[in-house]
A and B are shown apart, each in its own frame.
Chain A
């Protein structure tokens, strides 16, 4: 069995968000990066399948040099092989462009299952997984909170609203995007980290994948015109001062509300 896991390296959750000079993204120098939270759950889901039986886990990511670190981390957690799509020609790709690159790898790999995170911590688009499924011609579902593997299908609980779930059955091969909390993500062991250095990590260019001219900024159908902090319109009245002053203010307000 083979499972492909798509990973994205994103700014660390607590990174400073300073707008870049073009005004279309944040400044990426001087911040830390990590594997997108949702994708760590996707990787863990694949590694659990691997714990249970014979299974090759291939992790794939699109990004510059720094993305190698994310892939090595994934290999350290237990993935078998990594594919790094690294090419400036991919810069400025929209979700469809990214999905085309991943689809090209998926067509080469022919996995039984593709696991991805539901969305990314940075752009929160949640677009690539269903697009990837469409381009590869696989059935899919999103926001999975439970996956049960059958002989030729997956039975997936997908999260809907207000604490409800829909259960859907997908024939293999298929793609599932997972929600946070679907499992508890393991840490890479020291032994795993050492072993990761020797595991295969292949680098592919846009041309290698036969997609020259089909991805990147030139091919993108949508683009960010501008990024900015939200307008400070009706925000909260702020209580300022020492802790004692602030606490006194809060107690006064709670009394005013008739709740104390």
Chain B
């Protein structure tokens, strides 16, 4: 029986929370499946971080410390994980479904001729096999996936699991990795131009999605409600992709993450990338024609109706209430 290998990720000089969530998943599965948990911490000058991780859920940590790993590089990361898989005799390899994870993990799986399941919100062990649970159709349906015998690579959805709390008897050992096959080259990191409203400062946000239907409807229907409430307007990704609004309106994992006192989502289905951007809002109201829209899972209050019936009427009522 192989071990479970947790591939940790360093961000801004620390092991990121998603990696502690992975440790949580791994430690739980170790219990139910009778396997050992090992981890990989990779980067440059990361010895202390590896020590810390070994004591906080990582277990036996393999340390790949090399200049080649200083900045994220898919080839270097893949080489390090391959070396760790062999050293750990791992047959379940867990990464977080972060931009690094989704870049490396499938390639890793193909190279190992392994099964692959991405973006799991839950992994369990039942009847002698692992069960992988994830959403399909942009969050609308749940899928339970099984793997045949052999090695499996899985990525876990960040934020879906509480991070590991507690201590583990850890240890660290150096992992030697060859970076001969590295072809991709890191150039730099950039931030998008943040002109426009900083949504993170707004107390109230009214966001529109694909359901708003056309660019001019944002000015006609969504902005007036935002104005009436003294709030800011936001949008989901498809709206920005279509060029209806500039990127700085985008709420979501690749836009702005917001926590206003009130978030109103109109015509937004609720794909995970959007939910990640707003689910920590203090209070969420969702308006959508589709009763099965995933947005209703995070909303406090929902209205299953046509936003073109409700939003203008709400705007009028709010303006009336203000006198």
> Is A190 positioned at the interface, with any CB of B under 8 Å from its CB?
no
Which residues 1-56 of A sit at the B interface, judged by CB distance below 8 A? 11, 17, 19, 26
Candidates B147, B192, B314, B322; contact of A165 at CB < 8 Å: B192
Stretch binding the partner chain, chosen from A58-66, A76-84, A128-136, A199-207: A128-136
A155-B187, A251-B321 given; 4 more Cβ-contact pairs under 8 Å: A123-B136, A139-B184, A225-B144, A236-B296
A255 to B229, CA, bound (A): 11
Candidates A224, A227, A238, A247; contact of B302 at CB < 8 Å: A238
Stretch binding the partner chain, chosen from B21-29, B214-222, B249-257: B249-257
Which residues 237-260 of A sit at the B interface, judged by CB distance below 8 A? 237-240, 243-244, 246-248, 250-251, 253-255, 257, 259-260
Asked if residues B301 and A127 are in contact (CB atoms below 8 Å), the reply is no
Candidates A140, A155, A168, A228; contact of B142 at CB < 8 Å: A228
> Is B188 positioned at the interface, with any CB of A under 8 Å from its CB?
yes
> Is B35 positioned at the interface, with any CB of A under 8 Å from its CB?
no
Candidates B141, B147, B183, B256; contact of A230 at CB < 8 Å: B141
Write the B280-294 contact mask toward A (1 if CB under 8 angstroms, else 0). Answer: 001111100000101
Most central of A130, A180, A235, A243 by chain B CB within 10 Å: A130
- In the bound complex, residues from chain A placing their C-beta under 8 Å from that of B229 are 254, 259-260
> Is B226 positioned at the interface, with any CB of A under 8 Å from its CB?
no
> Is B261 positioned at the interface, with any CB of A under 8 Å from its CB?
yes
Stretch binding the partner chain, chosen from A67-75, A92-100, A105-113: A92-100
- In the bound complex, residues from chain B placing their C-beta under 8 Å from that of A222 are 115-117, 132, 145-148, 152
A143 to B116, CA, bound (A): 19
Q: Shortest beta-carbon distance, A38 to chain B, in Å?
A: 10
Candidates B104, B184, B190, B261; contact of A257 at CB < 8 Å: B261
Q: Show the binding face of A for B, using Cβ within 8 Å.
A: 11, 17, 19, 26, 94-96, 99, 121-135, 139-143, 155, 157-171, 179-181, 184, 220-231, 233-240, 243-244, 246-248, 250-251, 253-255, 257, 259-260
Asked if residues B187 and A169 are in contact (CB atoms below 8 Å), the reply is yes
Candidates B106, B255, B294; contact of A163 at CB < 8 Å: B255
- In the bound complex, residues from chain A placing their C-beta under 8 Å from that of B114 are 221
Q: Shortest beta-carbon distance, B155 to chain A, in Å?
A: 9
Asked if residues A163 and B141 are in contact (CB atoms below 8 Å), the reply is no
A125 to B322, CA, bound (A): 48
Candidates B99, B106, B238; contact of A161 at CB < 8 Å: B99
Asked if residues A130 and B190 are in contact (CB atoms below 8 Å), the reply is no
Q: Show the binding face of B for A, using Cβ within 8 Å.
A: 72-75, 98-99, 102-107, 109-111, 113-119, 131-132, 135-138, 140-148, 150, 152, 183-192, 194, 203-204, 229, 237-238, 240-241, 243, 247, 253-257, 261-262, 282-286, 292, 294, 296-297, 299-305, 309-310, 313-314, 317-318, 321-322
Asked if residues A163 and B191 are in contact (CB atoms below 8 Å), the reply is yes
Given A222-B148, A236-B301, are A184 and B243 also a contact pair (CB < 8 Å)?
yes
- In the bound complex, residues from chain A placing their C-beta under 8 Å from that of B253 are 161-162
- In the bound complex, residues from chain B placing their C-beta under 8 Å from that of A243 are 305, 309-310, 313
- In this complex, what residue of A is CB-closest to B115? A221
Asked if residues A17 and B116 are in contact (CB atoms below 8 Å), the reply is no
Asked if residues A139 and B75 are in contact (CB atoms below 8 Å), the reply is yes
- In this complex, what residue of A is CB-closest to B311? A247
- In this complex, what residue of A is CB-closest to B99? A160
Given A139-B75, A161-B254, are A166 and B99 also a contact pair (CB < 8 Å)?
yes
Asked if residues B313 and A247 are in contact (CB atoms below 8 Å), the reply is yes
A9 to B87, CA, bound (A): 41
Given A122-B137, A159-B99, are A135 and B310 also a contact pair (CB < 8 Å)?
no
Q: Shortest beta-carbon distance, A246 to chain B, in Å?
A: 5
A227 to B257, CA, bound (A): 30
Candidates A227, A238, A246, A250; contact of B141 at CB < 8 Å: A227
Asked if residues A166 and B183 are in contact (CB atoms below 8 Å), the reply is no
A139 to B79, CA, bound (A): 13
Q: Shortest beta-carbon distance, B16 to chain A, in Å?
A: 10
Candidates B72, B104, B152, B296; contact of A130 at CB < 8 Å: B104
A227 to B142, CA, bound (A): 6
Asked if residues A239 and B301 are in contact (CB atoms below 8 Å), the reply is yes
A200 to B43, CA, bound (A): 49
- In the bound complex, residues from chain B placing their C-beta under 8 Å from that of A140 are 74, 107, 184
Q: Shortest beta-carbon distance, B110 to chain A, in Å?
A: 4
A89 to B304, CA, bound (A): 43
A131 to B300, CA, bound (A): 40
Asked if residues A248 and B190 are in contact (CB atoms below 8 Å), the reply is no
Asked if residues B190 and A165 are in contact (CB atoms below 8 Å), the reply is yes
Asked if residues B184 and A141 are in contact (CB atoms below 8 Å), the reply is yes
Asked if residues B303 and A246 are in contact (CB atoms below 8 Å), the reply is yes
Asked if residues B142 and A229 are in contact (CB atoms below 8 Å), the reply is yes
A221 to B118, CA, bound (A): 14
Most central of A19, A134, A259 by chain B CB within 10 Å: A259
A142 to B208, CA, bound (A): 27
A17 to B141, CA, bound (A): 9
Asked if residues B322 and A238 are in contact (CB atoms below 8 Å), the reply is no
Candidates A130, A143, A180, A260; contact of B322 at CB < 8 Å: A260
Asked if residues A248 and B317 are in contact (CB atoms below 8 Å), the reply is yes
